[in-house]
A and B are shown apart, each in its own frame.
Chain A
Amino acid sequence: MSLITLIPLLPLLGFLINGIGFRHVPKSLAGIISTGAALASFACVLSLFFGFDGKPQIVSVFDWITVGKLNISMSFLIDQLSLLMLLIITGVGSLIHIYSIGYMSHDEGFGKFFAFLNLFLFFMLLLVMGSNYVVMFIGWEGVGLCSYLLIGFWNKNNNYGNAARKAFIMNRIGDLGFLLGIFLIITHFGSVEYADVLERVTDGGYASGDKTLFYITILLFVGAMGKSAQIPLYTWLPDAMAGPTPVSALIHAATMVTAGIYMIIRSNFMYSLAPDTLHIVAWVGTATAILAASIGLFQNDIKKVLAYSTVSQLGYMFMGLGVMAYSSSFFHVMTHAFFKALLFLGAGSVIHAMSDEQDIRKMGGLRKALPITFITFLIATIAISGIPPFAGFFSKDEILAHVFEHDKVMWGFAVFGSMMTSFYMFRLLFLTFFGEFRGTHEQEHHLHESPITMTAPLMILAVLSAAGGFFNLPHIFGGHASLAEFMAPLFAHSNVEHAAVDESLEKTLMIVSVIAALVSAGLAYVIYVGKKTIPVADEQVSGFQKVVYNKYYIDELYDKVFVKPITALSNFFSSVFEFLVIDLIVEGIGKLVKALSAEARLLQNGTTGYYIFAMVLSIAIIIIYSLKSFILG
């Protein structure tokens, strides 16, 4: 068995052991099995990565569906993109596994949790390793399932269950788009293999703006919208914070939600020929980035702030995709995976120390009690705010530079969004770690730094968040943009414009966005540390702030426009249509048969002579019928 098939197989094995043996496998062993599986996968990926010679490699496991000319095989593709995704998934995934050993140690569903985490890893690996859209789709659905299972992990709480259902249903809407996109690909190209589709598209002489490609790309993008939480399908992600914090870090920040970006980069040769779609992608991304960031400004739940921040950062990635800066977007996926996972894990550490308190109004002054968490959280905050030389700065500014080239207005929005990012992140940092402690006495007494299994991943991620930008250091800082160069073969067919941004212009843009970030960070300092402002209680929020605090009432709007009418319709069907039409038809047929047979059974009266008479009569009729022409002449 080759190393490649081993990568997804190991987590699957871990899932089977922990899943089937739940409550039988001892707690200490369950964590080790799962984490071991994740780490072993990571080791396989590393050895693949260092042995990679630049040539894509396809490993076919078995032929899965063969219908007519269409052949869909279960096969894995190892190329630049999947390797990088694999590194992120297994690397960050392993760290989060280690973290979870500490975080979930008091939970009774410990083994179940690790089984689900491993199942998630398996599907996520399938998603990025598949060599065709169908395998990607299996992974896509699988991670959706795991997301559902893990959001509703504490299934005794009804609200959590509802959040899980919401996430699942909203994802289904996107999945429908993705599925239709795959069908279109099959009808037009007759294959779902990436390599074949690429060949048909490049040989097919498709002009830029081709209608077919437009429909395919827009449908795929609908799928990406659902999975990557873009307007209008983003509301599930903040609710998904109901799950345990490591889940939020792994699934709802670092890996699963970036599946949409992965898919678009995978299909970049089609997107590049569909400028209208790219336009839509870019503007949806921009709108999402701004909207989510603005909601994040006034949230008081530590995880909710991070959730909206994730939505907003995903918006930036789509913005980058929309202007065909694929490698920059991917760079942001990578750095975001580092610092957002770190932020969530840090938040988890805080929540752990605060005995499950998530409201930042009740925190404050935690930097003394949780020094490691504080330092790492600070690094992540600086990274996400785009302050050099931390990771977020490089990736975000690369996207911004490409956006500037493409559309100045969009760039303006993007900078405004990054100002808000910096503000809400520093607001979160100051309210949590500075000032006086505002919780109860027991909480204060209970405050403690997390165990080593939790802080070690924090420190590793902090190093990555701080230094991650150097993987793709731009030329103006003397770097080689090595990530972009590594990924270049992926975009060989999509005519990505390599018009280098003017260096002095690039510098100006960077300075502008850094100043913007610093100004809003300073503003946050003045408000929350200087004036010691504490966000008011929910009832006292008023005016426009109230609208924003309530997320622009988008959830309520969806409820009114979609959920209520559909519920009303199904109620109508269940009470009226079901009763009057379905029951009538089904029961009517039954009654009819019964009535007819009540008459017909009288024919069977038991008298032998009668039977013989019927037989003779029937034979006579048959004979007359068959000799009809003979008799009638």
Chain B
Amino acid sequence: MQIPDIIRQIPLNYYIWFSTALFCIGIIGVLTRRNAIIIFMSVELMLNSVNLLLAAFSSYKSDPSGQIFVFFIMAVAAAEVAVGLAIIVMIYRNIQTIDVGLLNKLKW
């Protein structure tokens, strides 16, 4: 099947570089920040970079299954946000902060 011109105007490589950049930003966010909500947002960023890449490949290959994956990931991410935020709220209630650096009791 022919790929529409409007999509071909932007080459696939651009999408790959863009997604990689987003993903790396997400990783750096997760690694460097100590605020649980920021870490959470960074994780979402990584998920969405993957979503973008999947959608791009799907369009360029004219195969809808990639986009179906994206829907699934979105649904799972939404559920994950609900649970994750609830956990963060509980952490805050217990120790009055959401700095993950202080959560270091679980060790030998």
Chain A residues with a Cβ under 8 A of chain B? 601-602, 604-609, 612-613, 616
Contacts and interface: CB of A to CB of B under 8 A. Distances in A.
Give the top 7 A-B pairs by smallest Cβ distance, nearest first.
Answer: A606-B107, A606-B104, A608-B100, A601-B108, A607-B104, A604-B107, A606-B106
A612 B103 CA distance: 13
Interface of B: 27, 30-31, 34, 100-101, 103-108
A373 B80 CA distance: 100
Given A602-B108, A606-B106, 9 more contacts: A601-B108, A604-B107, A605-B104, A605-B107, A606-B104, A609-B100, A609-B101, A616-B27, A616-B30
26 contacts: A601-B108, A602-B108, A604-B107, A604-B108, A605-B107, A606-B103, A606-B104, A606-B105, A606-B106, A606-B107, A607-B101, A607-B104, A608-B100, A608-B101, A608-B103, A608-B104, A609-B31, A609-B34, A609-B100, A609-B101, A612-B30, A612-B31, A613-B31, A616-B27, A616-B30, A616-B31
Q: What's the dominant secondary structure at chain B's contact region?
A: loop
Contacts of A604: 107-108
Nearest to B106: A606
A609 B34 CA distance: 8
Contacts of A606: 103-107
Contacts of B100: 608-609
Contacts of B104: 605-608
Nearest to B103: A608
A616 to B, nearest CB: 6
B69 to A, nearest CB: 20
A607 B34 CA distance: 11
Contacts of B107: 604-606
Nearest to B104: A606
Contacts of A607: 101, 104
Nearest to A610: B104
Nearest to B33: A609
Contacts of B101: 607-609
Contacts of A605: 104, 107
A550 to B, nearest CB: 72
Nearest to B99: A608
B24 to A, nearest CB: 11
A604 B104 CA distance: 10
A69 B31 CA distance: 66
Nearest to B100: A608
Q: Which of B101, B105, B107 has most chain A Cβ within 10 Å?
A: B107
Q: Which of A604, A607, A608, A612 has most chain B Cβ within 10 Å?
A: A608
B68 to A, nearest CB: 25
Contacts of B105: 606
A607 B104 CA distance: 5
A621 to B, nearest CB: 14
Nearest to A607: B104
Q: Which of B27, B100, B108 has most chain A Cβ within 10 Å?
A: B108
A444 to B, nearest CB: 86
A607 to B, nearest CB: 5
A612 B108 CA distance: 18
A605 B104 CA distance: 7
B38 to A, nearest CB: 12
Contacts of A612: 30-31
Contacts of B27: 616
